[in-house]
Amino acid sequence: MKGDKGARVKPLAPRIMAKRVFSGVQPSGSLTIGNYLGALRNFAKLQHEAECLFCVVDLHALTVPQDPKELHQRTLDVARIFVASGIDPDLATIFVQSHVPAHAELSWLLECTTYDGELRRMTQYKEKAARQEVVTSGLLTYPVLMAADILLYQADEVPVGDDQKQHLELARDIAVRVNNRFDEEIFKVPEPYIPPKTAGGRIMNLQDATEKMSKSAENPRGNIAILDSPDEIRRKIKSAVTDSGREIYYDEVNKPAISNLMVIYSLCSGQSLDEIKSAYVGSGYGQFKSDLAEVVVETLAPIQKRFTELSEPGVIEAILAEGRRKAEPLALPTLRRFQDRLGLLALS
């Protein structure tokens, strides 16, 4: 492909909002406190400083087998959790990926500018493919669909957890490649917004601190789901693995399990890691864990309450319909411009 590197690009016309933010969450399982601390909490903050689009990426979920009824329900539930976590549909646009067909259309066009080797190198592809009996081509091209989600909206910033870093780098590479090829800024090159580990960028599994907490994990004991009952939360934290010794301090290498619990404690309570360490000098893991459970229960209680209120029929559906109405007109100009530059015949 012509000019992958180095060519200058013409800037886009200035926008009204200083910054546009895009992020997506798959409706592929029960959202965890990792999703909340690593992503959703930041979405709610960003909506005050940028024009935000938050998308339930249902097409991404189809890359692995899904039960249709569950997918339907989870799509609505993820949107409800967005709102329950503080995303205000009057400030941010909340919508479903498949409601804006431009995502799938742009994805195809971008697949034709992405190399097979780039996709086969993706760590998440290798991990997920190893776990599947049948590997679909959608699983391989998944990061291109993600690039399409982001590039379609000319997003400046993409808030995600640490696990999405490689996918975002690919989205940037694709944008630069297309811009260079046409010597024009067809796509804004997006910046990642990834919190450091101590700020929730990577919350680990409670049963295995070497694994990321994941909503699609086979064993839910290591996850705290946002909708878990207080008793489930207490039980899971009580049975969380700990490290040798009985002191409580942050040390990712030698005390990965306690460090992870401390990060959760810190983000839920607003206390610093140092404050937590001082508060538990000499008290052992038992007291720390039982206090942590209460802090987590208190953090999730208001989200769970709002979630229940949003379960009234029609409420979330109306928010999603409005979201689609706002998102689609933002997406189409980029798609049409790229189609034109590629030589595709315009609709008449």
- The set of catalytic residues is 128, 212, 215
Contact between 31 and ligand TRP (CB under 6 A)? no
Contact between 89 and ligand TRP (CB under 6 A)? no
Contact between 38 and ligand AMP (CB under 6 A)? yes
Contact between 74 and ligand AMP (CB under 6 A)? no
One residue of 78, 87, 94, 158 binding ligand TRP per CB under 6 A: 158
DSSP annotation of 187 reads: S
Burial 201-214 (b: 16+ CB within 10 A, else e): bbbbbbbebeebbb
Q: Check: CB of residue 168 under 8 Å from CB of residue 319.
A: no
Q: Check: CB of residue 144 under 8 Å from CB of residue 175.
A: no
φ, ψ of residue 81 in degrees (nearest 5): -65, -35
Within residues 203-222, the interface with ligand AMP by CB under 6 A covers 203, 212-215
Contact between 207 and ligand TRP (CB under 6 A)? no
Name the residue among 131, 128, 155 with its Cα closest to residue 139: 128
Partner from ligand AMP, ligand TRP, none binding residue 215, C-beta < 5-8 Å depending on class: ligand AMP
Contact between 223 and ligand TRP (CB under 6 A)? no
Within residues 144-163, the interface with ligand AMP by CB under 6 A covers 160-161, 163
CA distance to 53, 77, 137, 157, per residue, from 91 (Å): 9, 20, 36, 17
DSSP annotation of 63 reads: T
Q: Check: CB of residue 339 under 8 Å from CB of residue 182.
A: no
Q: Output 202 or 289, the one with its CB closest to ligand AMP.
A: 202
What distance in Å separates the CA atoms of residue 92 and residue 53, rounded to the nearest whole number? 6
Query: Sheet containing 51-56: which strands, arranged edge to edge?
Result: 93-96, 51-56, 20-25, 157-159, 191-193
Q: Output 167 or 236, the one with its CB closest to ligand TRP.
A: 167
Residues 59-88, mask of contacts with ligand TRP (x by CB under 6 A): -x----------------------------
Contact between 57 and ligand TRP (CB under 6 A)? yes
Contact between 27 and ligand TRP (CB under 6 A)? no
Shortest CB 164 distance to ligand AMP, Å: 4
Shortest CB 149 distance to ligand TRP, Å: 4
Q: Check: CB of residue 71 under 8 Å from CB of residue 78.
A: no
Q: Check: CB of residue 28 under 8 Å from CB of residue 74.
A: yes
Contact between 22 and ligand TRP (CB under 6 A)? yes
DSSP letters for 223-248:
--BTT--HHHHHHHHHT----SSS--
Q: Output 201 or 323, the one with its CB closest to ligand AMP.
A: 201
What distance in Å separates the CA atoms of residue 330 and residue 328, rounded to the nearest whole number? 5
Shortest CB 306 distance to ligand AMP, Å: 19
One residue of 146, 194, 262, 268 binding ligand TRP per CB under 6 A: 146
**Interaction site with ligand AMP (CB under 6 A):** 25-26, 34-35, 38-39, 160-161, 163-164, 200-203, 212-215
**Interaction site with ligand TRP (CB under 6 A):** 22-24, 26, 57, 60, 146, 149-150, 158, 160, 164, 167
